[in-house]
Amino acid sequence: MKAYLILCLILCPAWLQAQHTPEKRVVQYVNPFIGTGAVDTNSLSGSNIPGPTTPFGFVQLSPDTRDAPDDPASGYDYNDKTIVGFSHTHLSGTGVADLFDVLLMPTQGEVKLSPGKSQVSRSGYRSTFSHQQETARPGYYQVLLQDYGINAELTATAHTGMHRYTFPASTQSHIVIDLDHSLNKKRGYWECRIIDAELKVINNHTLEGYRIITGWASLRKVYFHAEFSKPFDNVVMANGNNTPYPTTLLNGTALKAALNFSTTDKEQVLVKVALSAVSIDNAKMNMAAELPGWDFDNISRQCADNWEKELSKIKIEGTPEQKQIFYTGLYHAFTQPNNIADVNGDYQATDLTIGNAPDKVQYSTFSLWDTYRAAHPLYTLLQPERTAGFINTMIRQYKTYGYLPIWQLWGEENYCMIGNHAIPVIVDAVLKGIPGINAQDAYEAIKASSVTEHPGSPFAAWEKYGYIPEDIESQSVSISVEMAYDDWCVAQLARKLGNTADYNHFMERSAFYKNLYNVKTGFFQAKNKDGNWVTPFNPLSYGGNGGSPYTEANAWQYSWYVPQNVPGLINLMGGNKAFTAKLDTFFTLANKPGDVNGNASGFIGQYAHGNEPSHHIAYLYDYAGEPWKTQYYVSKVLNELYNNSSSGYAGNEDCGQMSAWYIFSSMGFYPVNPANGIYAIGSPILKAAAITLPNGKTFSVSVKNPGKPNIYIQSVKLNGKPYTKTYITQNDIISGGRLEFIMGTKPNKSWGITPAGVPPVWGYNN
Amino acid sequence: MKAYLILCLILCPAWLQAQHTPEKRVVQYVNPFIGTGAVDTNSLSGSNIPGPTTPFGFVQLSPDTRDAPDDPASGYDYNDKTIVGFSHTHLSGTGVADLFDVLLMPTQGEVKLSPGKSQVSRSGYRSTFSHQQETARPGYYQVLLQDYGINAELTATAHTGMHRYTFPASTQSHIVIDLDHSLNKKRGYWECRIIDAELKVINNHTLEGYRIITGWASLRKVYFHAEFSKPFDNVVMANGNNTPYPTTLLNGTALKAALNFSTTDKEQVLVKVALSAVSIDNAKMNMAAELPGWDFDNISRQCADNWEKELSKIKIEGTPEQKQIFYTGLYHAFTQPNNIADVNGDYQATDLTIGNAPDKVQYSTFSLWDTYRAAHPLYTLLQPERTAGFINTMIRQYKTYGYLPIWQLWGEENYCMIGNHAIPVIVDAVLKGIPGINAQDAYEAIKASSVTEHPGSPFAAWEKYGYIPEDIESQSVSISVEMAYDDWCVAQLARKLGNTADYNHFMERSAFYKNLYNVKTGFFQAKNKDGNWVTPFNPLSYGGNGGSPYTEANAWQYSWYVPQNVPGLINLMGGNKAFTAKLDTFFTLANKPGDVNGNASGFIGQYAHGNEPSHHIAYLYDYAGEPWKTQYYVSKVLNELYNNSSSGYAGNEDCGQMSAWYIFSSMGFYPVNPANGIYAIGSPILKAAAITLPNGKTFSVSVKNPGKPNIYIQSVKLNGKPYTKTYITQNDIISGGRLEFIMGTKPNKSWGITPAGVPPVWGYNN
Quick: pLDDT tens for A589-636. 988 877 787 778 899 999 999 999 999 999 999 999 999 999 999 999
B401 vs A251, A353, A413: nearest CB: A251
Rounded to whole angstroms, the Cα distance separating A701 from A713 reads 13
A-chain CB neighbours of B279 within 8 Å are 351, 353
pLDDT score of A1 more than 60: no
N- to C-terminal Cα distance for chain B?
A: 39
pLDDT tens-digit readout, A511-567: 999 999 999 999 999 999 999 999 999 999 999 999 999 999 999 999 999 999 999
A-chain CB neighbours of B248 within 8 Å are 452
B172 near A CB under 8 A: no
Verify whether the Cβ–Cβ distance A247 to B452 is below 8 Å: yes
Mean pLDDT of B206-216: 97
pLDDT of residue B67: 85
For B658, phi then psi, to 5°, come to -65, -35
Chain B nearest-CA distance from A351, in A, is 8
Verify whether the Cβ–Cβ distance B218 to A195 is below 8 Å: yes
Give the chain A residue whose CA is nearest to the CA of B448. Answer: A249
Q: Give the best-scoring range by mean pLDDT among A18-32, B20-34, B717-731.
A: B717-731
pLDDT tens-digit readout, B530-542: 999 999 999 999 9
What domains are there in chain B, each with its CATH number?
33-292 (2.70.98.10), 355-513 (1.20.1050.60)
Rounded to whole angstroms, the Cα distance separating A684 from A666 reads 5
Greatest CA separation for chain A: 79
pLDDT of residue B423: 98
pLDDT of residue B23: 58
pLDDT of residue A238: 94
Chain A nearest-CA distance from B461, in A, is 11
DSSP A709: T
| Percent of chain B clearing pLDDT 70 (strictly above) | 94
What would the DSSP string read from start to end of B218-242?
A: S-EEEEEEEEESS--SEEEEEETTS
Chain B nearest-CA distance from A263, in A, is 29
Do the Cβ atoms of A377 and A691 come closer than 8 Å?
no
pLDDT of residue B761: 79
For A48, phi then psi, to 5°, come to -90, 165
Do the Cβ atoms of B418 and B369 come closer than 8 Å?
yes
Query: By C-alpha distance, which of B135, B141, B175 is closest to B59?
Result: B141
pLDDT of residue B10: 46
pLDDT of residue A3: 44
pLDDT tens-digit readout, A128-187: 999 999 999 999 999 999 999 999 999 999 999 999 999 999 999 999 999 999 988 776
pLDDT score of A19 more than 90: no
A-chain CB neighbours of B454 within 8 Å are 249-251
pLDDT score of A77 more than 50: yes
Candidates B251, B350, B452, B453, partner chain A, best to mutate (most A CBs within 10 A): B251
B26-40 CB burial, b ≥16 within 10 A, e <16: bbbbbbbbbbbbbee
Mean pLDDT in chain A?
93
For B352, phi then psi, to 5°, come to 65, 15
B415 near A CB under 8 A: no
Query: By C-alpha distance, which of B143, B348, B196, B174 is closest to B244?
Result: B174
Chain B nearest-CA distance from A353, in A, is 6
Verify whether the Cβ–Cβ distance A214 to B210 is below 8 Å: no
Give the chain A residue whose CA is nearest to the CA of B208. Answer: A400
**pTM as predicted:** 0.94
pLDDT of residue B148: 96
A-chain CB neighbours of B211 within 8 Å are none
B279 vs A221, A353, A460: nearest CB: A353
A249 vs B198, B250, B402: nearest CB: B402
DSSP A485: H
B-chain CB neighbours of A200 within 8 Å are 402
> If you count residue pairs, one on A and one on B, with CB atoms under 8 Å apart, how many are there?
85
pLDDT tens-digit readout, B150-160: 999 999 999 99
Whether omega for the bond prior to residue A536 falls within 30 degrees of 0, making it cis, is: yes
Res. A285 pLDDT band, cuts 50 70 90? very high
pLDDT of residue A41: 64
Res. A237 pLDDT band, cuts 50 70 90? very high
pLDDT of residue A751: 96
B508 near A CB under 8 A: no
Verify whether the Cβ–Cβ distance A198 to B402 is below 8 Å: yes
Per-residue HEC secondary structure of A317-379 comes to ECCHHHHHHHHHHHHHHCCCCEECCCCCCEEECCCCCEEECCCCCCEECEEHHHHCCCHHHHH
Rounded to whole angstroms, the Cα distance separating B45 from B49 reads 10
Verify whether the Cβ–Cβ distance A200 to B278 is below 8 Å: no
Mean pLDDT in chain B?
93
B247 near A CB under 8 A: yes
Rounded to whole angstroms, the Cα distance separating A514 from A504 reads 17
Verify whether the Cβ–Cβ distance B221 to A352 is below 8 Å: yes
B649-673 CB burial, b ≥16 within 10 A, e <16: bbbbbbbbbbbbbbbbbbbbbbbbb
B-chain CB neighbours of A354 within 8 Å are 354
N- to C-terminal Cα distance for chain A?
A: 39
pLDDT tens-digit readout, B279-300: 999 999 999 999 999 999 999 9
pLDDT of residue B730: 95
Cβ within 8 Å of residue A727, ≥6 positions away? A622, A669, A678, A679, A680, A681, A758, A759, A760, A763
pLDDT of residue B427: 98
**A window 454-483, beta carbon within 8 A of B:** 454-455, 460
pLDDT tens-digit readout, A634-676: 999 999 999 999 999 999 999 999 999 999 999 999 999 999 9
Res. A391 pLDDT band, cuts 50 70 90? very high
Strand partners, A670: A680
pLDDT of residue A10: 46
Between the alpha carbon of residue B267 and those of residues B134, B227, B291, the distances in Å are: 20, 17, 22
pLDDT tens-digit readout, A103-126: 999 999 988 886 544 333 456 789
Other beta carbons less than 10 A from residue A560's beta carbon:
24
pLDDT of residue B117: 40
Chain A nearest-CA distance from B249, in A, is 7
Query: By C-alpha distance, which of B553, B654, B559 is closest to B597?
Result: B553
Angle at B636 between CA B630 and CA B641, to 5 degrees: 130
B449-488 CB burial, b ≥16 within 10 A, e <16: bbbbbbebbbbebbeebbbbbbebbbbbbbbbbbbbbbbb
pLDDT of residue B9: 45
Res. A20 pLDDT band, cuts 50 70 90? very low
**A window 381-410, beta carbon within 8 A of B:** 401-403
| Helix ranges, A613-654 (H) | 627-640
Region of poorest pLDDT, from B504-508, B646-650, B660-664: B646-650
Mean pLDDT of A74-79: 95
A212 vs B193, B352, B453: nearest CB: B352
Give the chain A residue whose CA is nearest to the CA of B244. Answer: A453
pLDDT of residue A119: 35
Do the Cβ atoms of B65 and B84 come closer than 8 Å?
yes
pLDDT tens-digit readout, B494-516: 999 999 999 999 999 999 999 99
A-chain CB neighbours of B353 within 8 Å are 278-280
B200 near A CB under 8 A: yes
Strands (E), A479-565: 517-518, 523-524
Rounded to whole angstroms, the Cα distance separating A564 from A574 reads 18
